[in-house]
Structure 1
């Protein structure tokens, strides 16, 4: 089912972070123990890994019951009425470059998280202080007087202007986190890990139990966030380095300690939203031209091919696997970047970021897996993508992986040849076949010297044509599909230009 969580990040109420870790000295702490304000413990990356390994030797404990019922059952209006006040946000460094704000638990944010601020090799626990939050109606009558747990935190800096603090990352909800570059708004979300997505047994959502945020040294350009991940299937030690800028970059280093063999596991997972665009505009009675956080999946394969798959909002669940070895990158892209592409003054979809994964090291063989889930509401995250290795993660065997996420207006590197800028789908003029119209930005290549080929897994391709449009440097490819009785057909369009520069290959799954 699509997950209704997107609006929760809009004007989210102030909150806080409380999480716990492994064995002494980073012992798992109960909420009651966390009442000792300012508790300080030794800290290092090695201790985090030891703590995660020790936690894996114990049964998983669901900590949601630590959240008072009044917070778990409050609605969004009440949650939004709990707001941070002075001294939030607090500076992380002496030069006040980076600021930190804890986020309270409540509503759907029902996983308690322990927060620690790290200075050198010492970590100090962050605890709830009611005087630093404002509780407006109706939260004033609902929220407990003491010991409200935290659910995450946000980071801010002067990313757009030296006179204004701008939020550039937020960690809140299970293992979800988001980031933006300069002049961008939040859109799609990353996750620490995906387990059993789409399986009949149901998806397992790992959670970050604790965060250890390192205070940056003077002149630092990044914030380092350490975290312990936990779920019934695995624990993990994460180190996430966040560098804000025109493109904000997050480096993710993870070490898992599986409690069981995990066959269906997704690394570098993202959740996004695609309601409608030029591939399915006629399905929605809406004043806007398009509604989506991402409009395509881009993949840079180990063989050096660039693939572009326009996203869709199908009538039934669609799962696609793009098999690869040592992938060079993949991501969910928001390619349409003009206000008139959407005409939504409030949502400003044109400012939503692209998230591009750059694998570090050899990821060996596996597949980029894409889930497209039917949805009728723009508040549902109905798009999921991740990398799934062929080899399962084995119980008792530590598993390490490193990757980089670029949060930017586009993928950091794109094919040097033509690339897809728009896909339109509709019926032909006689209402007898499906018509596909694909526009390519030629990027300096001649539209007069291009070979176009179309492959289909079934059916027949009819009336293939290619021609320039009135827009400068744009080639249009059109063709009709005769399904010939088939209900699912995989399509591929390939362009070959005279100088052999690689063009994006257009992929699409057509279904009835």
Structure 2
């Protein structure tokens, strides 16, 4: 088709606006934008599912990577200097309430991702044009071919807001990664379409969202509907995202997956985050800030109705922890510590979203797996969590998983009757004023809210405590001075450097008072 310059497109958009002001129908959505489009094709989710199923029976074809030697020159700084022109954003002038802008290719996002607008059962591909982007005169991106394409997209705040051009709330960029802001208006951890062989003996596979199909939301009460085609050497998939912007962001996900090859670790609804250190494992003088993390724990709501909190670790070697379950009610990586005094920098760790996975069907037998990798800086995502079905994954299988992602300040559906863990603290064991014994560690676990709220300080709860190995002593519970919290204290005496699994909850004669604290303690090397 003939290629129109940006100037001609803008003139066309202006003419359309004039016709609309005169009461003349403006025509389809694609005619009311300065973007250029390919011809319309029929589109439905059912057809996308059928296409993913067919692709799984064919040899894998890697996505197009234009001019790799040029794209490699678009490093982090160069990529950040390339901005999509908000004036030509999809739905910048409606009728969709949330404008859409697109990411340019770069060193870390080198593969073309096809973008489409959907209207009335028809999809039109949005054609790449370098004129859509504002970039420095010396940008390497100017040397890319005309068919380079886009790397991803983001949804901006409602166009009725004066600041929508600088404020976005969801983004899809890189492999099958996507993220959203929570109720506190800050990006943090990410989700993925699928995780394939994460932390196995072989290489991890990163399937790509290769095509997106975006339909407008007519108002702020309706969902933005996004469809995506997933392709990888071992798996293909078709996804539908119904994305709503409310106090935070809620995404309803319908995923259909088809395997090309056997998969050792098949991670469903994967979450990816960063944990460097918290109040309980800060290395001596490694950084000036008290804590550095996007998430500080894994929360679980099991099919048996148990609530679990597992603080995160930064281990010296990769660790995979499995939490066996059947039909889980939910799990998530949360940022519970919201005190800015515990971070003290300008990147707003205290506002990072918590991300909760809510299954919408029975998922059967399996386990939530937590992957913890070593990191020595905050720039690396070293934490992953996902659901892994029990049954082996072979080639030629089909799966459907439906779930809801809650990008919020805290987990939804919290049990208000149970106290939750608010802090974990670890130090040398023994008592103050005495010689501290070697190989003994003191744990202090703080609980807040629920049944402990307003509890008589002279009526301490009991604790239920167990350890996978070692000896336990000095067990007690007490109120934390000048606060509404209670804490459980105990000493653990161990030999060797093998990890120790710990489990604790509070109770009294009336039953369980708190969620269950689980922790995998890695004994540090002797000083």
Q: Which of the pair is proportionally richer in strand?
A: 1
Shared fold by TM > 0.5? yes
Measure the CA separation in 2 of the matches of 1:362 and 1:293. Answer: 30
**Residue in structure 2 matched with residue 248 of structure 1 by the alignment:** 249
Which whole-Å CA distance do the structure 2 matches of 1:238 and 1:477 have between them?
45
Distance 1:497 1:104 in 2: 58
Tell whether the 8 Å contact from 2:343 to 2:349 is kept in structure 1 after alignment. Answer: yes
C-alpha distance in 2, partners of 1:153/1:93? 18
Q: Which residue of 1 aligns with 2:409?
A: 409
Alignment pair present for 1:488 and 2:499 = yes
Q: Does 1:206 align with 2:182?
A: no
1:16 counterpart residue number:
none
Alpha-carbon distance between aligned partners in 2 of 1:466 and 1:255, rounded to the nearest angstrom: 49
> Which residue is 2:15 aligned to?
none
Distance 1:412 1:154 in 2: 25
Alpha-carbon offset, residue 501 of structure 1: 5.1
Contact preservation (8 Å) 1:393, 1:399? no
> Structure 1 residue 45 and structure 2 residue 52: aligned?
no
* 1:78–1:222 Cα change, 3 Å: same
TM-score by length of 1: 0.88
Shift of 1:86: 4.6
Structure-2 change in CA distance of 1:86 and 1:99 (3 Å): closer
RMSD: 2.1
Residue in structure 1 matched with residue 465 of structure 2 by the alignment: 454
Which runs of structure 2 are paired with 1:50-449 in the superposition (5 Å)? Answer: 50-91=50-91, 94-136=94-136, 138-139=138-139, 143-144=143-144, 146-158=146-158, 162-165=161-164, 166-217=167-218, 220-344=221-345, 346-415=346-415, 416-428=417-429, 429=432, 430=436, 432=438, 433-445=440-452, 446=455, 448-449=459-460
Equivalent in the alignment of 2:32? none
Shift in Å, 1:492: 0.5
Distance of aligned partners of 1:232 and 1:141 in 2 relative to their CA distance in 1, 3 Å threshold? closer
SS of corresponding position for 2:391: coil
Contact 2:369 2:385 in 1 (8 A): yes
Gaps of 5+ in 2: 1-34
TM-score (norm 2): 0.86
C-alpha displacement of 1:486: 5.6
Distance in 2, matches of 1:235 and 1:147, equals: 24
Q: Is the 8 A contact 1:439 1:477 kept in 2?
A: yes
Range with bigger deviation, 163-172 or 300-309: 163-172
1:135 Cα deviation from its structure 2 partner:
1.8
Displacement of 1:71 after TM fit?
Answer: 1.1
Q: Which stretch of structure 1 is more off in the superposition, 423-432 or 264-273?
A: 423-432
Q: Matched residues in 2 for 1:67 and 1:216: separation?
A: 36
Q: Do the aligned partners of 2:71 and 2:106 also contact (CA within 8 Å) in 1?
A: yes
Q: Secondary structure at the match of 1:52?
A: helix
The higher relative CO (CA closer than 8 Å, separation ≥ 6) is in: 1
Structure 1 residue 405, shift from structure 2 partner: 0.6
Other-structure match for 2:8? none
**Alpha-carbon distance between aligned partners in 2 of 1:442 and 1:76, rounded to the nearest angstrom:** 43
Distance 2:234 2:466 in 1: 41
* Residue 36 (structure 1) shift: 8.8
Q: Deviations over 1:415-437 (max 9, x none)?
A: 32111000011223515321111
Moved over 3 A (4+): 64-68, 92-96, 140-143, 217-220
- For the structure 1 residues 374 and 213, does the alpha-carbon distance in structure 2 shift closer, same or farther, using more than 3 Å as the test? same
Superposition deviation, residue 476 in structure 1:
1.0
Offset, 1:142: 5.4
- Structure 1 window deviating more from structure 2 (295-304 vs 412-421): it is 412-421
Which of residues 489, 502, 508 is equivalent to 1:478?
489
Question: Where in structure 2 are the equivalents of 1:29-40 lying within 5 Å?
Answer: 37-40=37-40
> C-alpha displacement at 1:129, in angstroms?
1.7
Q: Which residue of 2 aligns with 1:7?
A: none
CA contact (8 A) 1:44 1:121 kept: yes
The number of residues matched between the two structures is 476
CA–CA distance in 2 between the matches of 1:137 and 1:274? Answer: 38
Aligned twin of 1:20: none
Shift in alpha-carbon separation, 1:147–1:68, aligned structure 2, 3 A = farther
Residue 39 of structure 1, CA deviation: 2.3
List gaps (5 residues or longer) in structure 1.
1-34
Q: How far 1:298 sits from its partner (Å)?
A: 0.3
1:481-509 Cα deviation digits (max 9, x unpaired): 10134622110112114443552100111
Change (3 A) 1:169 1:114: same
